[in-house]
Amino acid sequence: MNNENTERTTSKLQENVADDVRRSRSVFRFFTGVLALSTALLGFLYFQQYEQNRAYQMKTENQYQRAFLDMSGHIENMELEMSKVLVSNSANTGISGLSDVTREASHAAGDLGQLPLVNLLLSRTNQFINQAGDYCYNLSQKKVNDPGSLTPTELKQLSELQRQTLFLRDELRKMGEQLNSRTITWIDLERNARKQEQTGSQSQTAWLPGLWNKVITALAGQGPESQAPPILANFQFVETELQKFSSLEYDGKFSETIKVSPRGLGTGQITQEQALQIAQSFLGKDNLEGHTLKVAGEGKAAIPAFAVSVVPNDAPEKTVINLDISKTGGHVVWMLKDRPVDGIKVSRDECAAAAKAYLDRRGMRNFEVVTAEEYQNMAVIILVPKQGDLSLYPDKIKVRVAMDDREVVGYDATAYLTFHHNRQLAKPKITREEAQKKLSPYVQVTGTKQVLLAKDNYQEVECWEFSCIRAGQDYLIYINNQNGREEKIFSVINTPAGRFIF
């Protein structure tokens, strides 16, 4: 009996063990399946991510490659059109060719801007392309107003420009061959640029000399070729050689020979203590109650200046007003007050009146409002001085007015201090009626006044300004009051936020 009980107990234990083993195997198989499925799913997701990244990189690489090839094509077309102009003896053909160079240069500059590392590696190349297009544009405009063949000086300058363009064309062809060999990709260059951008400007500055040292080492045949990809060496070679060429002398917005020195500063240098006194007088006691003025360093504007800050006495780490006081003459270059604006409670016209009164209180009484625009609950008012009946557009001052209480929270006299001076203005040789006859017969004149206009090369011309309408669209047309030449046309867009001029 005891033996039978023992056997039954043993048999039951064996069955329990077997059940446990079977359950363990089932659990093991289940988790093994889950693990396998998870691994397969992760592998699939990783593969999908890999394929997406690969597709993105390929798309980006193709975009960069297309931009480079398009740029190279536009540079070739620039050189080709220049060569045609140089052998042409027709004014019309020359003007057409120069206009084509300008268009091709504009496209080339746009394509160049799409490439990575442009700011770091191709700044001089970018400048050259813009200068070439700008020079040809100015030359074409000159020939429109004064038809005839190119003068010996113009031929010499254009020949030199063609020679430089030919050099750039040949170097770009070499770069294209290197890119086609796939020894380096634009993605690699972009990745390096992003890494340097993330590490900050200091490390970026330190990185560039090291990169160029590697380039020079590779060019000299020293060290492994992997130190500097050949295309980087070509970039640096182009930059270096273009800097060796003589500067292009012409009057245009990209010209290196045009230097604009501030003409409205007067004479005499001020000290930091005097800068604080000037800032205190400009701001007034109300703005300074419970606050302290301090010189925060050098100004950031184009005019050399002392940077002055206004900080609360109970929060010295916070700046509520910033100003720049010019070192020469002691003028307020700009001022900005940082405060929230509680919605729009006054009109743009009221803000314009407040801006004009603001200048009147500072002895600048002969100003007129030119435009008034809304921006983030503030009115941006442009005012210009008048000399006789002439509005001096180059000497503008920008005033920012809060649209909740008409307080002036911004002031920028950079243009005024740069260009304002005593001018000897000529009497108009073209009357208003004669100038109006120069307009298109398809526009309707709604207003006229005399203005001083600054062209792209900072050359000032006295003009009749005609406000015109055609097909419901507003325009400003400027006719030179000395020779009747049409100088500029602007399109005027009237919106609820103000009047915008393009």
Query: What's the CA gap between 111 and 85, in Å, rounded?
Result: 24
What is the structure's pLDDT at 382? 95
Residue 410 lies in a domain: yes
Check pLDDT > 60 for residue 216.
no
Asked if residue 57 lies in contact with residue 189, where contact means CB atoms within 8 angstroms, the answer is no
Residue 450 lies in a domain: yes
380-396 pLDDT, tens digit per residue, is 999 999 999 999 999 99
Residue 40 lies in a domain: no
Mean pLDDT of 218-223: 37
What is the structure's pLDDT at 43? 74
Check pLDDT > 80 for residue 450.
yes
Domain count, the chain: 3
Residues 326 and 451 reside in one and the same domain: no
Query: What's the CA gap between 56 and 65, in Å, rounded?
Result: 14
Residues 485 and 385 reside in one and the same domain: no
Residues 201 and 139 reside in one and the same domain: yes
* More confident site: 59 or 353: 353
* pLDDT band, residue 46 (cuts 50/70/90): confident
Residue 309 lies in a domain: yes
Residue 47 lies in a domain: no
* pLDDT band, residue 208 (cuts 50/70/90): very low
* More confident site: 219 or 398: 398
Residues 303 and 156 reside in one and the same domain: no
* Backbone φ, ψ for residue 122 (5° rounding): -125, 35
Residues 360 and 231 reside in one and the same domain: no
Residues 450 and 411 reside in one and the same domain: no
Domain boundary among the residues 417, 441, 461 is at 417
Residues 344 and 394 reside in one and the same domain: yes
Check pLDDT > 80 for residue 301.
no
Report residue 405 as tokens.
């209480």
Q: By mean pLDDT, which of 25-34, 113-122, 205-214 is the weakest? A: 205-214
Helix H, strand E, coil C: the string for 116-185 is CCHHHHCHHHHHHHHHHHHHHHHHHHHHHHCCCCCCHHHHHHHHHHHHHHHHHHHHHHHHHHHHHCCCCC
* More confident site: 176 or 200: 176
Domain that holds residue 411: 272-417
Mean pLDDT of 448-457: 89
Residue 4 lies in a domain: no
Percent of the chain scoring above 70 in pLDDT: 79
What is the structure's pLDDT at 223? 40
What is the structure's pLDDT at 203? 42
What is the structure's pLDDT at 455? 82
Whether the model pTM is above 0.85: no
Mean pLDDT of 409-434: 94
Mean pLDDT of the chain: 82
Query: What's the CA gap between 43 and 247, in Å, rounded?
Result: 59
* pLDDT band, residue 495 (cuts 50/70/90): confident
What is the structure's pLDDT at 205? 42
What is the structure's pLDDT at 24? 67
Mean pLDDT of 474-499: 92
Mean pLDDT of 43-49: 73
Domain boundary among the residues 393, 417, 441 is at 417
Residues 407 and 453 reside in one and the same domain: no
What is the structure's pLDDT at 483? 93
Mean pLDDT of 188-194: 63
Residue 458 lies in a domain: yes
What is the structure's pLDDT at 258? 59
CATH of the domain at 473: 3.10.450
Mean pLDDT of 479-494: 93
Asked if residue 232 lies in contact with residue 211, where contact means CB atoms within 8 angstroms, the answer is yes
Q: By mean pLDDT, which of 21-30, 37-46, 128-137, 212-221 is the weakest? A: 212-221
Give whole-number Cα distances, 270 to 305, 355, 450, in Å.
10, 28, 37
Residue 453 lies in a domain: yes
Mean pLDDT of 148-167: 89
Check pLDDT > 90 for residue 452.
yes
Report residue 442 as tokens.
């398809």
Residues 212 and 321 reside in one and the same domain: no
Residues 176 and 68 reside in one and the same domain: yes
Residues 439 and 301 reside in one and the same domain: no
Report which of 338, 358, 366 is spatially closest to residue 406, judged by C-alpha positions: 358
Query: What's the CA gap between 398 and 396, in Å, rounded?
Result: 7
* More confident site: 146 or 482: 482
Residues 351 and 225 reside in one and the same domain: no
